[in-house]
Amino acid sequence: MKPSIGIVFAGAHTLGMARCSTFSSRLQGANGPDINLDFLQNLQQLCSQTDGNSRLAQLDLVSPATFDNQYYINLLSGEGLLPSDQALVTDDFQTRQLVLSYAEDPLAFFEDFKNSMLKMGSLGVLTGTDGQIRGNCRVVN
CB 102 within 8 A of CB 3: no
Which tens digits make up the pLDDT trace of 3-13? 677 889 999 99
Domains, the chain, ordered by start = 5-128 (1.10.420.10)
> How far apart (Å, rounded) are the C-alpha atoms in residues 78 and 43?
13
Which tens digits make up the pLDDT trace of 111-122? 999 999 998 888
Which tens digits make up the pLDDT trace of 65-111? 999 999 999 999 999 998 888 889 888 888 999 999 999 999 999 99
Please give the model's pTM, rounded to 2 decimal places. Answer: 0.82
